Structures are given as C-alpha cells and as structure tokens.
Structure 1
Amino acid sequence: MIPQDTQTVYEVFASACQKHGKRPILNVLSETASVYGIEAGEITYAQAMDRVEAWANAFADAGYDSGMRVALLLENRPDFFLIWLALNKIGASVVPVNPDLRAAELEYLIGHAEPALIITVQTRIGELQAAADTAGVDVQAIAIGDAVPAPRADAVVAASADHDFDRETAVLYTSGTTGNPKGCVLANSYFLEVGRWYSTLDGIVSLTEDGERMITPLPIFHMNAMAYSFMAMITLGGCLTAVDRFHPRSWWQDVRDSKATCLHYLGVMPSMLMTAEPSPADRNHSVRFGFGAGVDPQLHAVFEERFGFPLTEAWAMTETGAGAVISNHTDNRVIGKAALGRAPDFLDILLADDDGNPVPEGQPGELLVRRKGGAPRLGFFSEYYKNPEATEEAWENGWFHTGDIVRQGEDGYFFFVDRKKNVIRRSGENIAAVEVESILMRHPEISAAAVAPVPDPIRGDEVFACLKVANPGEDKAQEIVTWALGQMAYYKVPGYIAFVEKLPLTATQKIQRAELKTMAAALLADTGTYNTTKLKKRQVA
C-alpha cells in the first residue's frame, strides 16, 4: 500500500528499492531484445536505481528542472521507465510518443507539447528533428547514450503546483473525438491513485507482495502499461515484462518465459488466441488472472475454460485513471455479457440523456462519473493542455462526461452498450475521424474526404474513407494509402476506400456522421470499394 503522505512516483520506486533491492523490477525477453537490439534478462530494483540516479544527475547537471518536459519515443524499451523515474525525481515531466506516428502527427505533437528535449532511438532522430524544425520548436532530438544537451530556451511550460502530489509528471495524447489529439496532463496524484487502487483490489485480481510478475504487450505510451501495469508492480515490489508487441504465435511461450502470474490484454488478443488449435500446453503457465477490456462476450467463458484463468473486464479512460474505474473482478462476476462490474464505493455514477438528466432505470445513457467526497477530480487528469474550454466541457455540471453509453441492470452491474462519440476504435486504438480527414485533405488530389468506422471481425472497427478525386481507381487508392502511411500512424490509414461524387453534408457543409456511417456500411460490399487493409503495416524506420 502506498502511504498517504507519498508525493511522487519516484518515492514509490525508492521505497520498493529499499525493501526489494535484489528483486527484478523489469524483465526483457529474448524476442523483444532481438527486435530492439538490447540486452535480454532481468533488471533488479538496485540496478534500476543506479541507472535512474545516473539519468537524474545527467539531467540536473545539464540544467533540466521542474516544469520542463522531455518527449520519449522509445517503444517498449525498459529505458522509458528509468528515464521517466529520473525526470520525476527532479520535478520534470515526460511526453510519451507513439512510435507509429508519422510526419504530420509528430509535427503537431511536438509543436503542442513544447518539450525541452526529445529522446528516441537512433533510427528516428532525423524524422523527429525534422518534425520539430517544421513545428518551429528549437529542440534537439538525441538517442540513448548521447550526452544530454542543455534544454532549449524558455523550456519551462508546465504549470507550477504547490505540492509535488499535484505536479505534472506526464502528458499523454489521446485521439479524443474531434480534430487533433488532446494532451492529457497527468499529475503524480494520478499515478499514485492507480497504484493504490490496483494493489489493494480483491476478488480474482488480488495481488500480493510475494513477488508478482506481470506481462503486457500493450504500448507504454498508453496509460494502461505506463500507469496500471508499472505502478502496480513497483507498489508491490513486482516485476514487469513489457514485450515489444503482441505476437500471437509465440505469446504463450512469452508468458511461460516471463514466469507471469498475471497479464494485461485487449479484446483482440483473446479472439486471435482462440483461433489456434487447442494444445495440451494451453494451461502450461502460472497466470492467475488476465486484466483488460473488450473480450468478445461469446468467447469469454470458453477462453477461460480452455486456458485456465479468468479474464477481468474493466472500464477506465486516460482522463479518469483510477479516479473513476469500474472492474468486473469479484468472485460472483458476470461472464459473457460485456459486464463492466458494479460501482466501487468511492465513485458517484450517473447515466444521463443528452440533456444531462438521469435516464429511466434499466435504460442506456451516457456514463458520467466523479469521486465521492470533497475532491471529485482526485485521480483524474489535471487538464487538457492549452484547451481549458475542452476541460470544462468534459466536466460540465461537476460530472466527467465519458462519451460511453452504458446501462445498469437490476443487480447493479453496468454493461457497455456503445460509444456516443465519433471515434473509430481499432484494436484498442481510438482514432478521431476528423484528424484522419484533415490529414487526407493534405493530399494534392483529394478534394473531399470523410471517414467512418465499419465492422471488422478481429479489430472491432476498420477505417473506411469516402474520397473525392479527379481520377479514381485501384491504383489511386493504393497510391493514397502509401502516401498516408508516411503521414499518420498505420492504424489510422483507411482500410477501405470508396471514391464518391459527393459526401452527405448538412446545410452548413458539415459531414452528417450518421448518414456517412450508413453509407460506408452499404459501400463495404460494393465492387467499386477498394480493400487496402493488406497495405496497413507498421512502418519500419
């Protein structure tokens, strides 16, 4: 348990080092090490402390201080956590960067976050430096192992705080629902509340201080791995294995090699794992539970029966952290019905209609949440950086508006229904249609663009683009996708392209989203629609 007077993430880590110095904190599997070209094996708490102190001294000696940010594009390398802890110690903050982002997205993120320094892998230095130069931010991009340069001028950009507890420690960018990604400012309090919540959970997700080992394939630049996985482990003196990504064919061997007692997942993972032929080795592991979201209800029970451990479904957002989290973790949990769990004692929940009024009992409504007591925003994000209007809109009338449609059953369980907001959710990634449209419109031959989700049996949603061009055809569709792969993360690129004469627009020339979604669904089976999903692959630097 994290003491109530703890102020920073670094203090949690330092406490764990004192208690468990010889235990491993991080573990790198051989496959991940080979992908990244780093050393495989475990890093103990004591070894991690030595490296954290070295980084902290290097930053302090170079002039880094509270209020500055360092952008990190390090994929799922263990150095991410060590650098974050070092910066947290000196009062600085990190901006995790999705390695799948490309030119236009990187330019926006760097220009918006205004980091004092960018640390990345050697192969991405040129790309990030070019993005910073285009964005007009005089910041240097370096690789691990390079000498830490002085921070750029006027590098103090984060708001000051009276207490370290409220001080910014990270800015995570989330696609949100409209336009460019929003920068969620997360304080030390955000991460400490996650550690407290996860480490004290009961039921089938009970963790101990006996040396838990967690494996996650989820990206570190997301709150799940960065907050939930890492904070749970350092709170209890456990070990985290972060693999480079989810490898379905070698997943169970990774689980066995990591000696995992628990794992994190997204809904696409159970679906893919169930396609493999059953094997006598399916239960040859030490996992007690999986923790995640989005498992196909029809696969929930059969997955647990086949692999021998429960999947705990939960709900949270980057904005809510553990300030508002609902988890289906009790022994009498509901299985196979997209159940999120019951409301925890610390949380106020309101299911509301479009006017903010409570919906009738049993009817679906937007999920509104806040902490009980005198601190309704405890554990939530601090603000959307440079966007106070969006922050206040999200907290309208004192409730955080999640944008998720949920219903509550007679037994008190909450069940996920749908998303109210205009978000395409592909393999766990939130994709803002407006952002994709704005980037597509940079293509010189596209005169109009509209993007909608269409169903995908494995990934949940796929991106469908209706485009207007002068010379449509299959070659043009492939050329546009190839171009788009250099402009945005591969998962945002259209998986289907239909060339149309006009888009469904309102009288004020805004896209009619509902009609567009219907239109995309109808065009999906049209012979004139081009399937470009096979072109959607991670770009190699």
Structure 2
Amino acid sequence: MIDIHDHTTIGEALAAAIAKYGSLSLLAVPANPGRSYLPEGREFSYAEAGQLIDALKTLYQAAGYGVGHRVGLLLESRPEHMLHKLAMNSLGICCVPINPDYKRRELNYLIDHAQLDVIVCLPTRLAAVQESLQDTRTQPGVVTTNTEDYTALTLPPAQRPAQGAVTADTPASILYTSGTTGQPKGCVLSHAYELAAGKWYASHPGYVSVQEGRERLFNPLPLFHVNASILSFYCMLLSGGCQIQTDRFAPSRWWEEVASTRATIVHYLGVIIPLLLKQAPSEWEQRHCVRFGYGAGVEPQLHAAFEARFGFPLIELWGMTEVVRTISDHGADREVGTRSFGKSAPGLEVLVADESGQPVAPGTPGEMLVRYSAQTPRKHFFSEYLDNPEATAKAWEGGWFHTGDVVVQDPDGLLHFMDRRKNIIRRSGENIAAAEVEAVLLSHPKVHQVAVLAAPDDIREEEVLASIVLIPGVEAGTAICQELFAFCQQEMAYYKVPGWWWFTSEIPTTGTQKIQKHRILAAGQNAQTLPNVLDMRARKKR
C-alpha cells in the first residue's frame, strides 16, 4: 500500500502508485451497448492512465495553468474526468466538478462563485456552457474534449500566472454542497484531505477490509460527488485497486455490470436497495463476487432481506463532503436492521451534544459533532467554505465541526442516525436546500408565499413538498401546478423540483413571521394526507 504522510501531494502519490502497480487496472468502464461512449467497456492500467495523465499535464502546463487556477470539469462520470483531475492536481490546479443536471441559473452561480479560469466540457455540453456565459461576470475559457482521443484538445492560455509550488495544503477540489442559506457552499478540499480519505478507507478494520492489489470497486455514484471521485477512488489508488465507474445507476443492469466486471466491493445509497430487491431474480445476481457493500441509508426492514438474497453484508457509514473520513460499522459492532453506523475512533472523534454544545447522556438524541483530535481538530477536514469565513467559523464553533445530524449514542458508544437538523431535503442521495427551491418559486409572478420541506418517501428517502399560497385571482388546481412544475424544471436540476404540490390559503407562521413548517407536515406524516395535494413525482425526470 502506498505510504502517505502530511507532506504528500496527489501527484507524488500518483507517481508512487504507477511505479508500484503499473500493470494492474486503475479504472474500468462496464460494457453497455446502449451507451454513447465505450459501449464495449474499457480498462485503464495504472501505467496507461499515467501516460494519458502525463500528456494532459503537459497540455495544462504549456498553457500556463498551475497553483491558484481553477478548472471546471463538465465531463459527467466518464473516465476522462479522473484523468483530467489527476493531471490538474499534479500541477496544483484546483478541480471544480460541475453537476451535469445543473440548469442555467445554477451553472451561472457556480461559474461566478468559483471564479473559474477555464471549463473543460463534453461537446454535448458546450451549448449549455455558452448560454450561461452570456449571464456571468466571470468569463472563463471553454474547451471541449475529443471523445476518441482524450489528449486532443487545445487549452486557452491562462490569463494570470501560477502561484508557486504544490503542497499538501493546496486545494485539490471545490465541491458544491447545499446549505440552508439557499445557495450552495463551495467546499474546499486539499491534497492532504483527499489522500487521507482514501488512506482511512483502505486501512479500515473489520468488514471494510481492503486487500492490496486485489479489489475492484463498483461505484454507481457520480464523479461530481465526494463518494466516487475522492473516497473510493483514492482508496483504490493507494491500495492498487481498480475503480469501476458506471455512468449512472440502472437497476436492470446493476448485477450484469457488477458480475461481468468482477467487482469485489460495491457502493450504494439507500434508494438503490429497494430497487434491487424489486428486480426479478436473474442469473447475474448469482454470479457476482462481491465481498461487501459500503454505503448509507438502507431501510432497517430491508437490510437483512438484501443480505439474505444477495449474499454479502451492507456496511452502513456516515460521512459528508466536509469530512469524508467516514465513520462506519465494522467488526462485532455491526447491527443489521438498525440505523447504526459505527463509533468514535482516533482520528475522528465524536461528541453528541445539545444545542449549547454540551454532551448529552447515552440514549439521548443530540447533534453529532466531530473533530480529528483536541490538539488538531481540523486536520484532514475541509479547508474552508469558499469566500465564506462566517459559515466556516460557525461550522467549527467550540472547536468541533457541527454536522447538523441528530444521532443517539448507545452506552457502548455505537451511534444511531436519527434525523437532520438542517433545512435540507435528502432525495436519492442528493442534498436539496429548501431555501433555494423557495427562492425559485417566489420568483414566479403567481406565487405569493411558499414553504418547501421534506416529505417521507418509500423509495427516495425524502421527496420535495411545496406548500404554496397563490396571489389573489389565481385558482389552485392542476393547471397552475403544471405551470409551476414546468417553470421549476427550467430553473433547477430535475431532482430539486417539488414532487408534491399543496395549494393552501395560509402558511402557518410565528408572531415574528417565521414559517412553522412542522405545522404543515408533521414528522413522518405522509404527504398524501394533505387535502387536495397533487402528486407530480412521476414527472420528475432528467
């Protein structure tokens, strides 16, 4: 396994991995005849990937890019995303992944907030980028990739010089994560953070044990998220393993792709589990060689049923973009059928606290606060929220990072997830800020007042519910619902658009006019119980 320490950069770790594991596979793409790229699949050895990365690195360097520059990648979940990221990081360039589901307004915000120097995108995404650049203050250069030759591209010259040498503290990525203020926050992640995340995973005890040079990890999650591009990828890189990157989760193809690529580990979200259980039995599900699944959100009542049918354990974890050094079930602590996810450990200490930051007794719900240690609380955590020192300071109030997640701790230290304190809707693994959806709806001329909140969902964990007061003279019903739905589709990624619509004459507020969302939908209440609620979930599509 590659040895890292606090002074190692991604470029140094990559070079060591290529030298040690050159003939082994680093990246694999499953075969899929219906996909527009690599329909027969492809594998990249460490040595081959290294050659492509070196060629890309030469192009970036010749164009003047280095430390201090930020490059947006709109390359979906294709292998070229990781090849570009590694080339960029080797030079100290910061990678800013772009969610391909973003609409114009969202893309505008990211371009301006991250102050991108250049955007590298697929040819099919060029028109969307050019439309956004009509609105943005920041005007990055734009270059499209060649789907036949990854290194056949001409980068525009950098408009400012690079800023020194690459270090462990140099930003490697800026990932955008939803916040309660409405606009996403740019989470700055250093070289040290990303490598430490991979090393932590690769060194985990118990069920989550990674074997050097032998693992093939199937990840159906997108490369613009921390799970696939950082947690699992660097685990594989540092241990001589191979990341199998599919374009997206497809229940009907899951077992064929997992079995045919000889995956030994799979990553999952809670939404994946019931969809796989609903698939008819197939020969592919009997041919896999998976040792364990690693993920979060499996419903307790489905946990044992999944393991019995498919023959491997699902290891529940906790993590977030700010700290992907995960806590997870391992060894004798594993409790199938509960929401347990592990214990505090050296390098990731946990405090369950009340609203004043004081510890609560075992068995009492409280917010989970985390840190590396008392001496170095922020070690291997995110560096900062980009250009938002106030939010960074608030998140670290009292020397602990405030996760916003409510948990219960057993007397023996085992943690159980309860709920989220933040005003975040968690739909199929995507974090959606209610305030962002509210802001879009309030911009429609026929909307007077709106409250957006989470409604429980059997498949997607949570669904977006919009409670709306219309302006006088506009009749509630299917017609206005369809109009507002179409409006939201134009303004936001599909998953943020409300699935439930409830038109009401009044939204409950406090004496100071703060909306009381708990009076609209009580905890655990089904949205269908609201009078005359309209269900638009089936129309939410990419």
Question: In the alignment, which residue of structure 1 is the partner of 2:195?
Answer: 192
Q: Which residue of 2 aligns with 1:497?
A: 501
Spell out the pairing of 1:31-50 with structure 2 (5 A cutoff).
Answer: 31=32, 34-36=35-37, 40-50=41-51
Matched, 1:222 2:225: yes
**2:456–2:526 Cα contact (<8 Å) kept:** no
Equivalent-residue separation in structure 1 for 2:366 and 2:402 (angstroms): 11
Partner of 1:528: 532
1:303 lines up with 2:309 in the alignment: no
The answer to whether 1:147 aligns with 2:150 is no
1:218-297 map, 5 Å:
218-279=221-282, 281-297=284-300
- The question of whether the paired residues in 2 share the 8 Å contact of 1:116 and 1:151 is answered with no
The 3-state SS of whatever aligns with 2:186 is strand
Separation in 2, partners of 1:236, 1:32: 31
2:9–2:166: 8 Å Cα contact kept in structure 1?
no
Contact 2:67-2:164 at 8 Å conserved across structures: no
TM-score (norm. length: structure 1): 0.94
Partner Cα separation in structure 2 for residue 386 and residue 39 of structure 1: 44
Give the whole-Å Cα distance in 2 for the aligned partners of 1:520 and 1:500: 20
Q: Which runs of 4+ in 1 moved over 6 A?
A: 160-163
- Superposition pairs of residues 369-384 of structure 1, within 5 angstroms: 369-372=370-373, 374-384=375-385
Shift of 1:227: 1.0
Q: Is the Cα–Cα contact under 8 Å of residues 282 and 306 in structure 1 kept in the other structure? A: no
Distance across 2 between alignment mates of 1:177 and 1:465? 16
Distance 2:340 2:298 in 1: 10
Deviations along 1:367-414, one digit per CA (max 9) or x if unpaired, are: 011112532111100000010000000000101000001111122211
1:315 to 315, 318, 333: 318
2:369 aligns to what? 368
Q: Offset at 1:241?
A: 0.9
Q: How many residues align?
A: 533
Q: 1:183 corresponds to which residue?
A: 186
Matches within 5 A, 1:26-425: 26-31=27-32, 34-36=35-37, 40-145=41-146, 147-151=153-157, 153=159, 164-279=167-282, 281-322=284-325, 325-372=326-373, 374-425=375-426
Q: 1:230 to 1:453 in 2, by over 3 A?
A: same
Q: Aligned partners of 2:527, 2:297: CA distance in 1, in Å?
A: 27
CA drift of 1:139 comes to: 1.2
Partner SS for 1:477: helix
Give the secondary-structure state (helix, strand or coil) at the position aligned to 2:520: helix
Q: State the identity as a percent.
A: 44
Which letter maps to 2:318? W
Indicate how the Cα distance of structure 1 residues 491 and 387 shifts in structure 2: closer, same or farther if over 3 A, else same: same
Q: 1:296 to 1:521 in 2, by over 3 A?
A: closer
1:222 aligned partner, one-letter code: H
Q: Residues of 2 paired with 1:340 and 1:390: CA distance?
A: 27
In structure 1, runs of 5+ residues without a counterpart are none
CA change 1:495–1:528 in 2 (3 A) is same
Question: C-alpha offsets along residues 302-347 of structure 1, whole Å, 9 cap, x if unaligned?
Answer: 211111111110111100121xx31102145221111111211233
Change (3 A) 1:520 1:230: closer
Instruction: Provide the C-alpha distance between the structure 1 equivalents of 2:143 and 2:511, rounded to a whole number of angstroms.
Output: 50
Q: Which residue of 1 aligns with 2:518?
A: 514
Helix, strand or coil for the counterpart of 2:253?
Answer: helix
Residues 281, 39 of structure 1: alpha-carbon distance in 2 compared, 3 angstrom cutoff: closer
Change (3 A) 1:296 1:524: same
**Deviation string, structure 1 residues 84-111 (Cα, Å, up to 9, x no partner):** 0110111111101111111111111111
CA distance in 1, matches of 2:523, 2:345: 41
What corresponds to 2:12 in structure 1?
11
Aligned match of 1:439: 440
Answer with 392-401 or 100-109: which moved more. 100-109
* Matched-pair contact (CA < 8 Å) for 1:33–1:39: no
What residue number does 1:25 align with?
26
Query: Taking structure 1 as reference, are residues 169 and 372 closer, same or farther at Cα in structure 2, changes over 3 Å only?
Result: same
- Structure 1 residue 439: Cα displacement: 1.5
SS at 1:416's partner residue? strand
Distance in 1 of aligned mates of 2:115 and 2:171:
14
Amino acid at match of 2:308: E
Preserved contact between residue 178 and residue 431 of structure 2 (Cα < 8 Å): yes
Preserved contact between residue 207 and residue 331 of structure 2 (Cα < 8 Å):
yes
- Identify which range, 93-102 or 121-130, moves more after superposition: 121-130
Out of 472, 475, 479, which is 2:483 matched to? 479
TM-score scaled by structure 2? 0.94
CA–CA distance in structure 2, aligned partners of residues 282 and 51 of structure 1: 35
CA separation of 1:32 and 1:197: change in aligned 2, threshold 3 A: farther
Q: Deviations over 1:164-203 (max 9, x none)?
A: 1011010000012331000000000111111211111121
- Could you say what secondary structure the match of 1:369 adopts? strand
